[in-house]
Amino acid sequence: MDDNLEDLYQEIILSHNKRPRNEGILDPHDSEAEGYNPLCGDRLQVYVKLAGPTIQAVQFTGQGCAISRASASIMTEVVKGMDEHSLDAKIAEVMELLTAKEEPMIDPLELGELAALLGVRKFPARVKCATLAWHTLAAALKQSGSITTE
Ligand code: ZN
């Protein structure tokens, strides 16, 4: 990754942390889950509103580091309008991008702001900060309502 791109990604993270999209309790919502990352202390609640099989809205609340909040904020925008099938695929894709041992081949244009999260790959301790919101969303969709620490 070249330096200019890294600066851009850093700016995207900081911007989402400062002005998160879709932060707040979603009322009404169909399901919710809480996620906790003990490595960093990040704690998020994710709320989901469905229209049939489609994600109508996702919002989040909670406290955490800039990466965890930016990841949640970006996620709420990315998943809106997806059906369960494409959402499952998206969650799997993001997990793979963040945790695969090999540097992923990506198309930054196609990935959009999600690409900004890939910077955490260099800091293994921070990967869970970036994956927390996605694990929590997956848990919410299972209607478990349980606390996920993955
Ligand atoms: Zn964190």
Q: What is the pLDDT of residues 30-84, one digit of tens each?
A: 999 999 999 999 999 999 999 988 999 999 999 999 999 999 999 999 999 999 8
Cα separation, 131 vs 85, whole angstroms: 19
Q: Which residue range forms the structural domain that includes residue 19?
A: 3-142
Tally of domains within the chain: 1
Instruction: Tell me how far the alpha carbon of residue 25 lies from the centroid of ligand 1, in angstroms.
Output: 21
Residue 149 lies inside a defined structural domain of this protein: no
Instruction: Tell me how far the alpha carbon of residue 128 lies from the centroid of ligand 1, in angstroms.
Output: 7
Match 């992923």 to its residue by tokens: 104
Cα separation, 72 vs 105, whole angstroms: 23
Closest CA to 74 of 13, 150, 8, 5: 13
Average pLDDT over residues 84-89: 88
Determine the pLDDT at residue 144.
46
Question: From the CB of residue 140, how many other CB atoms can be counted at a distance below 10 Å?
Answer: 25
CATH of the domain at 135: 3.90.1010.10
Give all strands (DSSP E) within 38-143, no chain letters. 42-51, 54-63
Instruction: Tell me how far the alpha carbon of residue 130 lies from the centroid of ligand 1, in angstroms.
Output: 7
Residue 15 lies inside a defined structural domain of this protein: yes
Residue 134 in this model has a pLDDT that exceeds 90? yes
Residue 50 lies inside a defined structural domain of this protein: yes
pTM for the complete prediction? 0.91
Question: Could you read off the pLDDT of 96-123 as tens digits, one per residue?
Answer: 999 888 888 888 788 899 999 998 888 8
Instruction: Tell me how far the alpha carbon of residue 2 lies from the centroid of ligand 1, in angstroms.
Output: 24
Instruction: Tell me how far the alpha carbon of residue 14 lies from the centroid of ligand 1, in angstroms.
Output: 13
Determine the pLDDT at residue 1.
59
Residue 147 lies inside a defined structural domain of this protein: no
Residue 25 in this model has a pLDDT that exceeds 90? yes
Six token digits for residue 106: 């990506």
Confidence band of 8 (pLDDT split at 50, 70, 90) = confident
Instruction: Tell me how far the alpha carbon of residue 42 lies from the centroid of ligand 1, in angstroms.
Output: 5
Instruction: Tell me how far the alpha carbon of residue 65 lies from the centroid of ligand 1, in angstroms.
Output: 4
Cα separation, 116 vs 73, whole angstroms: 12
Determine the pLDDT at residue 61.
98
Residue 24 lies inside a defined structural domain of this protein: yes
Residue 108 lies inside a defined structural domain of this protein: yes
Instruction: Tell me how far the alpha carbon of residue 51 lies from the centroid of ligand 1, in angstroms.
Output: 31
Residue 76 lies inside a defined structural domain of this protein: yes
Match 């990506």 to its residue by tokens: 106
